[in-house]
Amino acid sequence: MAGQRGTGHGSPWAQSATEWIAAGVGLAALLVITGTLLFEVITGNGHPPRISAQAGEITTQDGVFHIPVELTNHGSRTGAGVLVVGELRDGEGEVVEEAEFELDFLPPRSTRRGGLYFDLDPHDFELSISPRGYHYP
Amino acid sequence: MAAANGSRLANLRFLVGLARAAGGALIFSLPLLMTMELWWLGFYMGRLQLALLTLVTFPLLVLLSHYVGFERTFDWREDVVDALAAYAVAVIMAVVLHPLLVIAAPGDSFSEIIGKIALQAVPGAIGALLALSQLGQAQEEDGSRRRHWQEEPSYPRELFLMLLGALFLSLNLAPTEEMVLIGHRMPPLYSLLLVVLSLLLMHAFVYSVEFRGQHDPGNGHPGHARLFLHYTVAGYGIVLLTSLFILWTFGRFEGIGMLDVVAITVVLAFPASIGAAAARLIL
């Protein structure tokens, strides 16, 4: 032990195998993180949020109709304050009921979930769910 | 036989060091981990800025290992290995804690998760490295390294420690909206007063460091003016640049006039200057 210290490699754990493993993990993490970020810098073209809404299965909860909604951002920038509006239209195209919710943030390529409540049965009407707007954080 | 024992001991000591590093990473990164503005920055801040922050942090970690680490030799390879190990600990800590605290959840894109972890790894790695080297000194029976420093204080080392302290404090405070809000509300005269107060407080720290390090009063003690220029003013310059860099990195200057850029930088530089000055006292 004393000899090891005396060699000039001051750290007591200078040449241990675990140290090299830890350093290898650190190097891999550093490369993956900076690599991913720089890849995004090169390929990212600053496209505004492109948001798609996917409605889930309609269920009833205490007499109201619930529709889960999944939103995905296909653009390359984060949308904040994303307003999602669901509308029920009758045969003549008149809006008979409206429901909405707002998402704080929708990062690029990420998916967030929310839900809409309707008093009328969406099965009897034409349902449309669409994102109406966003702002940049 | 003796060699095998030695290597097993070295491995064991390193594992103990890693556990200690995990503790350091936790202490340094928890305040940021539990700040939601930081999670948001993880996905919306500029990718170039985040890559730059990561790339700038790594040489800083190597330098930190060089200046604070408990090796008596100046082996750069060793410092790089230590910095990488500290980074690994910080990243693993972030990878474990993000899902546990549901900061990363199903539906989050790879880019979003990488962004959050990259941000979190910066203070975590600083904490891990400090714990590896600083707390390790307590186990070293001889305090030769520390005494060596006090006899020959190195000016670049002192400036580096100030940079590190400023970086850590500004990383913690810059993500919050309050920096921008305070900057917007302050009249220019108040900003000026804040600069004076920052300088005064920094100088108080500088003076107390000199006082602490001085074993032999009256022997080559530098004058106040020289101290002020060499440490306080130079340190405040470093603090301002660090604050400016961090605020720019976090996109805090977008759509803001030049006067507000100065005001917000001065606001962040206030805590950062305390961090810078205190780092010299603590490390």
Q: Mind listing the pLDDT tens digit for each residue in B179-226?
A: 999 999 999 999 999 999 999 999 999 888 777 655 444 445 667 788
- pLDDT of residue B146 exceeding 50: no
Q: Mind listing the pLDDT tens digit for each residue in B53-95?
A: 999 999 999 999 888 865 555 678 888 998 999 999 999 999 9
Cβ of A11 and B6 within 8 Å? no
Instruction: Please state the ipTM of this predicted complex.
Output: 0.86
pLDDT of residue B215: 45
Put simply, the chain A residues between 90 and 129 with a CB less than 8 A from any chain B CB are 105, 107-113
Domain ranges of chain B: 1-145, 153-283
Distance from CA of A6 to the nearest CA of B (A): 11
**How many angstroms separate the CA atoms of B246 and B50, rounded?**
10
**How many angstroms separate the CA atoms of B134 and B67, rounded?**
11
Contact A84, A71 (CB under 8 A): yes
Residue B246 in tokens: 């961090």
pLDDT of residue B45: 93
pLDDT of residue B110: 94
CA-based torsion, B105, B107, B112, B113: positive or negative: positive
Cβ of A26 and B91 within 8 Å? yes
pLDDT of residue B274: 96
Q: How confident is the model at residue B149 (pLDDT cuts 50, 70, 90)?
A: very low
- pLDDT of residue A51 exceeding 60: yes
Residue B112 in tokens: 């979003």
- Does B92 contact A at CB distance below 8 Å? yes
- pLDDT of residue B109 exceeding 50: yes
Q: How confident is the model at residue B283 (pLDDT cuts 50, 70, 90)?
A: confident
Cβ of A10 and B7 within 8 Å? no
Cβ of B43 and A30 within 8 Å? no
Q: Which amino acid is at A8?
A: G
SS3 B69: coil
Contact B202, B277 (CB under 8 A): yes
- pLDDT of residue B161 exceeding 90: yes
Q: Closest by alpha carbon to B273, among B250, B243, B230?
A: B243
Measured CA to CA in angstroms, residue B129 lies from A50, B60, B68 at distances of: 42, 11, 9
pLDDT of residue A29: 97
- pLDDT of residue A48 exceeding 70: yes
Q: How confident is the model at residue A12 (pLDDT cuts 50, 70, 90)?
A: very low
pLDDT of residue A132: 95
- Does B124 contact A at CB distance below 8 Å? no
Cβ of A40 and B10 within 8 Å? no
Distance from CA of A135 to the nearest CA of B (A): 12
- pLDDT of residue A111 exceeding 90: yes
